[in-house]
């Protein structure tokens, strides 16, 4: 009863003043990771971003935050990243596992299962699912010890909601992200750590193809989403205001997954 009373008295706020937040996969200035880092910074968090290339330092300089280079599919590099962030900023309290979303530099493998090589399968699983696993494992212990934390994983509508031919590996990985989210949420719920995921549909970024843009125009809202719109959903789930939400998937797709058929 005492815990329930304390929860009711806690302020419902979106602010993250003083909290250390890590956003992975934020190397593109037009991407979801960058937009999320900017929003968390504006909410008062001390933000770190990480990607696999040194361009992350340019993004960090633009935002006035701290950048790190690491291969998040490598267990040792994730451990070294955790130590470096702790030394420079403090213990991570908010983790956004955005790494893995495709880009022109790292395109999605598009082949039917019959033609998909095992190495291609593993590559998609590693960058879209293993990265979230390794980072969550590296930082969740400290959150649990402090009794507060937020983990938000980036899934997608492809996999958990729908799928297209030739994207089996990507869809399987993103469906796995939802499973990881729910399992971790139940493991950490008693420790004050909330774990959720956001599943974007068609989002317009610099990496969007003509086909993807056309798909966005066909949504009930009539356009693709923007990185800022996804970032707003992520930021809410990172905030104290989301204290009674855990193990959930928030779909951000302009209503596309709800529509049963297209009427003209």
Contact 232, 199 (CB under 8 A): no
Tell me the three state secondary structure of residue 230.
helix
- The verdict on whether 170 is a catalytic residue reads yes
Catalytic residue among 34, 118, 170, 244: 170
Q: Is the dihedral of CA 217, 228, 158, 52 positive or negative?
A: positive
Q: Which uninterrupted H or E stretch holds 34?
A: helix 32-42
Q: Which string of b and e fits 12-49 if b means at least 16 CB within 10 Å?
A: eeeebeebbbbbbbbbbbebbbbbbbbbbbebebbbbb
Alpha carbons 238 and 261: distance in angstroms, whole number: 34
**How are the residues of the chain apportioned to helix, strand and coil, as percentages rounded to the nearest 5?**
45, 15, 40
At which residue do the structure tokens 């983790």 appear? 95
149-154/193-200 β-pairing: parallel
Contact 170, 158 (CB under 8 A): yes
Contact 249, 199 (CB under 8 A): yes
CB 118: neighbour CB atoms within 10 A? 7
Assign residue 159 a region (left: φ > 0; alpha: ψ between -120 and 50; beta: otherwise).
left
- Which residues are identified as catalytic? 170
């Amino acid at each position: 009863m005492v815990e329930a009373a304390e929860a009711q008295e806690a302020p419902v706020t979106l602010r993250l003043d003083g909290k250390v937040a890590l956003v992975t996969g934020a190397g593109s200035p037009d991407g979801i990771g960058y937009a999320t880092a900017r929003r968390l910074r504006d909410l008062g968090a001390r933000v770190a971003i990480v990607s696999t290339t040194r361009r992350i330092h340019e993004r960090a300089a633009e935002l006035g935050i701290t950048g790190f280079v690491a291969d998040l599919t490598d267990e040792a590099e994730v451990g070294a990243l955790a130590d470096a962030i702790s030394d420079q900023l403090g213990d991570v309290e908010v983790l956004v596992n955005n790494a893995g979303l495709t880009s022109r530099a790292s395109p999605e493998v598009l082949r039917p299962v019959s033609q998909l090589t095992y190495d291609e399968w593993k590559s998609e699983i590693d960058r879209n699912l293993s990265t979230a696993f390794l980072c969550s494992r590296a930082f969740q212990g400290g959150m649990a010890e402090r009794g507060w934390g937020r983990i938000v994983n980036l899934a997608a509508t492809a996999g958990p909601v729908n799928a297209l031919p030739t994207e089996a590996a990507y869809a399987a990985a993103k469906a796995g992200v939802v499973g990881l989210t729910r399992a971790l949420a139940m493991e950490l719920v008693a420790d004050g750590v909330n774990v959720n995921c956001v599943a974007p549909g068609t989002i317009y970024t610099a990496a969007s193809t003509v086909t993807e843009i056309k798909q966005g125009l066909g949504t009930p809202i009539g356009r693709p989403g923007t990185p800022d719109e996804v970032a707003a959903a992520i930021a809410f789930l990172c905030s104290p205001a989301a204290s009674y939400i855990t193990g959930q998937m928030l779909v951000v797709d302009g209503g596309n997954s709800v529509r049963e058929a297209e009427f003209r």
